[in-house]
Amino acid sequence: MSRLSPGDRAPDFDLPSTAGGNTRLSDFAGKKVVLYFYPKDMTSGCTAESCAFQASLPDFEAENTVILGISKDSVASHHKFREKEGLTFHLLSDEDSDACEKYGVWKEKSMYGRTNMGIERTTFVIDENGRVAKVFPKVKVDGHADEVLEAVREA
């Protein structure tokens, strides 16, 4: 599936979460949601991205916005990652790539001359009505949380 575009209805999902049980996008109706897909817990880029969102969390909360991170890692891995980095927002486990495919971020990637399937680091800002307000494809981590906060304020 191709990546979603602004104005598209954001697909609901039902994924195991560090909140305990499962989390659905529809649980946050009436709030803005920053949904960021990242490749792997405990890696340098993903740690920097997650910690930047954590550092800006009060600013996002002031904008009636929740942050949700999604990767294919297990909930157990997510719990270790949250504990190690002091993350307080929820991480969701998409081990079967269901949400990754719905959002169009499960891509063929190439590294060191080898191709494999993986998550393309992508962030979606979803408005209070469940529509995609902004898409950040192929995210570069430096300054990203600030860009996303600005988009949330404009959404």
Active site residue 51: no
**What are the C-alpha distances in Å from 19 to residues 24, 96, 126, 136, 147?**
11, 19, 20, 25, 26
CB 106 within 8 A of CB 97: yes
> What 3-state class would DSSP assign to 80?
helix
Of the residues 4, 15, 33, 46, which is catalytic?
Answer: 46
Cα–Cα distance, 124 to 139 (Å, whole number): 11
CB 16 within 8 A of CB 47: no
Q: Taking the CB of residue 91, how many other CB atoms lie within 10 A of it?
A: 27
Q: Catalytic residues, which ones?
A: 46
